[in-house]
Amino acid sequence: MNEINYIAEELNPLILFADNHLLAVNKPAGLLSQDSGTGLRNLEDWAREWVRIDKNKPGAVFLNAVHRIDRAVSGIVLFARTSKALTRLNEDIRKRNCRKIYHALVEGVPAKPEDQLVHWLSHEHQRAGVCREGDRGAQRAALRYRILQLAGDQTLLEVDLETGRYHQIRAQLSAIGCPIAGDQKYGAKQAPEDGSIALHHRRLEITHPTLKEPVMIEAPYPADSEWWKLLGS
């Protein structure tokens, strides 16, 4: 059995939702969502191979990521298995007709138990920075958070993403003095050797592109992660 076939079979427990139009996978931290010209192993290639094996497809497999999450982040990545699904889901995301919920374990405790954060962010040198409205490249970024659990000197937050900017959650939580655990790029004190950060795409709520019914997908925490193992599933 070659490596990509082995990986595709290994991903079976990580499949969260699958039908003729959609495939949702619980991405482990450290794995790219897509190749993006790197030539490195990535979730999209593995998921395409899973479809080929599971559905016994001899030819080319249509599979496209509807959204991506950072390499250091774990959780839900949604793929479209048909061009119709891809077009409709992209339109829903553009119109914000979906809901993305993340869990973040942060250093410190936010000043408020729940709040809306609104910042203007710019993106350069593979990093998002807080800037002022009207600055070159400035984009409005908004999210809501609430405290779920205190864990020693860290806090577990639920984050409801209202916009989808580059590194938005990482930059905005850092801006209020609560960087995500492990995220040294945005001010965390320590980082694990595996390069993961304590950010997990926990729940995704969409409208099915053909059935027009609500679909709610939830991803358990990675079982082998130091960040999440003390918090349960």
Instruction: Identify the pLDDT of residue 125.
Output: 87
Average pLDDT, the chain: 89
Instruction: Identify the pLDDT of residue 9.
Output: 53
Lookup: tokens for 40: 């490195």
Residue 77 to residue 207: CA distance in whole angstroms: 16
Q: Which domains does the chain have, with CATH numbers?
A: 3-218 (3.30.2350.10)
Q: Is 69:77 a contact under the CB 8 Å cutoff?
A: yes
pLDDT, greater one: 229 or 105? 105
Q: Report the half-sphere exposure of 72 (CA within 13 A, side-chain side).
A: 21
Q: Which of 70, 135, 160, 183 is catalytic?
A: 70
Lookup: tokens for 76: 């839900």
With bands split at pLDDT 50, 70 and 90, how would you rate the model's confidence at 10?
A: low
Q: Which of 157, 144, 148 is nearest to 104 (CA)?
A: 157
DSSP 81: S
Quote the Cα angle for 173-177-182, to 5°.
Answer: 65
Lookup: tokens for 77: 């990545």
Is residue 183 annotated as a catalytic residue, yes or no?
A: no
Instruction: Identify the pLDDT of residue 230.
Output: 63
The enclosing H or E element of 44 equals helix 43-54
Tokens 């599933």, located at residue: 233
Classified as helix, coil or strand, 74 is strand
With bands split at pLDDT 50, 70 and 90, how would you rate the model's confidence at 6?
A: very low
- For 89-141, write each residue's pLDDT tens digit: 999 998 889 999 999 999 999 999 999 999 999 998 889 999 999 999 999 99
- Phi, psi for 50 (deg, rounded to 5): -60, -45
The enclosing H or E element of 158 equals strand 154-161
Instruction: Identify the pLDDT of residue 98.
Output: 94
Residue 2 to residue 55: CA distance in whole angstroms: 18
Question: How many percent of the chain have pLDDT more than 70?
Answer: 93
pLDDT for 3 beyond 60: no
Residue 162 to residue 150: CA distance in whole angstroms: 24
Instruction: Identify the pLDDT of residue 227.
Output: 78
- For 138-190, write each residue's pLDDT tens digit: 999 999 999 999 988 899 999 999 999 999 999 999 999 999 999 999 999 98
pTM (2 decimals)? 0.91
